[in-house]
Amino acid sequence: MGTASPPPRRPALARAADEFVLTTVLLFLAVTVVRWLRDPHSPLYIADLRVALVVIGAVSGAILTGLILSPPGRRSGGHTNPAVTVGLWLMDAFPGRHVLPYVLAQLAGSAAGTGLARLAWGQAVALPSVSHAAIRPARTWQPVPVLLAEVGGMLALTLVIAFFVARPRFIRGLAPVIGLSVGVVIATLGPLSGGSVNPARQLGPAAFSGQTTDLAIYLVGPIIGAVLGAGAHRLLVRARSARSPTPGG
């Protein structure tokens, strides 16, 4: 997301490898943050889930911003999210032939990062309050509202990205805005729907924890949101073009 479409001279597989590294680091740190803030034996334990999610959102946003601005992030574009990759492709800001390698690298990085966190922290990440940082909805939330929240959250995030895609002169401000946006999603939707908006964020933790409640929603919902967001972006661009005066008109 740092540069939307990465530099063309770098080989596609090398850029996908950067995405693997970035997503591995993202998931390792995500599990680590949840391990320290939600393990009752941790000195940093926060008992109130809503407060914990505000802190997790702030830290996650800062981590994501740092990853986008890192050398691998600048080389690959710093997507770390299959839905972002699909959305950028549909907005003609990313080559279609690179979508599959990126998505596979991101999903593999999700598993690798979660596995590394398990090796680093041991049984602590398997505690019920940590659960490998797997995302789950509130008990009162049924599948349909969870799906709508995931779709809506990613749709909004895609429109934020679209704003910068349409205005390349502001692209330097994209990383902190994305970090802030993701942090807000986690803090607001986290206690309700889970606030994932990233299939890679849920796949690894769900696989390691065996917590597959609404997994299909967390994998598919953000993609639907990205498709709808990219579609809305295209409609807005088309409407703006239609309103623009023609040369000599």
pLDDT digits 0-9 by tens, 169-178: 888 889 999 9
Structure tokens at 129: 């309050």
- Residue 114: CB partners within 8 Å, gap ≥ 6? 27, 28, 31, 132, 133, 204, 205, 207, 208
Of 23, 21, 22, 33, the C-alpha closest to 121 is 33
In a domain, 5, yes or no: no
In a domain, 198, yes or no: yes
- Domain, as residue range, for 77: 12-243
Measure the CA–CA gap between 105 and 71, rounded to whole angstroms: 17
Portion of the chain with pLDDT greater than 70, in percent: 94
In a domain, 32, yes or no: yes
In a domain, 2, yes or no: no
In a domain, 7, yes or no: no
pLDDT digits 0-9 by tens, 13-61: 899 999 999 999 999 999 999 999 999 999 999 999 999 999 999 999 9
Of 205, 21, 240, 226, the C-alpha closest to 131 is 205
For tokens 């839905």, name the residue. 83
In this prediction, residue 249 carries a pLDDT of 47
In this prediction, residue 72 carries a pLDDT of 96
Q: Which stretches of the chain score pLDDT less than 70?
A: 1-10, 244-249
In a domain, 3, yes or no: no
CATH number at residue 136: 1.20.1080.10
Measure the CA–CA gap between 61 and 83, rounded to whole angstroms: 17
In this prediction, residue 11 carries a pLDDT of 80
